[in-house]
Structure 1
Amino acid sequence: MIHDDLYATGLEQRRRMFGPAGAEGQVEHTTDLNDKVQDFVTRVCFGDIWQRDGLSVADRSKITIAMLIAQGKSHEIRVHMRGALANGISPLELREIVVHSILYIGIPGAVEGLRALDEVLAENGISQDLDGESGRTATDTGA
């Protein structure tokens, strides 16, 4: 791998989002099999694209999660939900991204997103009591 400014910036972004395991833990275990992928992810994805003006890192997290849910990429959904929490995205915002996805990708994709969010919140000790919506009744809403 080329260790230049893009690499250093990308590694730092990975560290902020995914901790040492998602930064040094990934690149230090690079092999001839995966070196091109790790180089691309570190330098281009996180060192360049995630650093561009026009969208905040938080917005990029939201967009990435929505696209991963739409593609049904289970592992990456979980990875990026963890990163989104580190980027300041609230559990409520993550839930709303999943709920919104029902409209555009359907229930099965949204359910996979909810499974991922459930796991990520549990592993981080974050309550699923987000807004009290589940306890509301028709009387509460005026229906």
Structure 2
Amino acid sequence: MIYQQTLSIQTAARTTHNLTREVQSIVAESGIQTGTCHIFVQHTSASLMLCENADPDVRLDLETFMQHIVPDGDPMFRHQDEGPDDMSAHIRTVLTNPDLTVPVTAGQCALGIWQGIYLWEHRTQRHQRRIIVTVQGES
């Protein structure tokens, strides 16, 4: 059995958005008890991550690290059609993940106690992002 739904998320500028509740809800709606949940963001300047969900400083530290290794407006980047954060956002996405696959057990994503599913916006302005969630398995 396969079930698919698309989420539309309005992001804040360069931040993370916890998708765990929305994804778990889609898995529950699917009726699938055992299988996999695949999550895919349809953009080249945002990514997905499985990350610590208890301390928000973890995600802030990741952002600080990313700003250090991929600074906005670096003169080595030619592509800056949409501003100084354009190419750096694309590089951030390539260095991270546009998709995640999580096991489904007992009708929910089998996440660890400290794990959450996050959309990571890499642009410095708000954007509307589409995320496809596909659940496959047996009911």
TM-score (normalised: structure 1): 0.26
TM-score calculated relative to the size of structure 2: 0.26
More helix by share: 1
Higher strand share: 2
Larger radius of gyration: 1
More relative contact order in 1 or in 2 (CA 8 Å, sep 6+)? 2
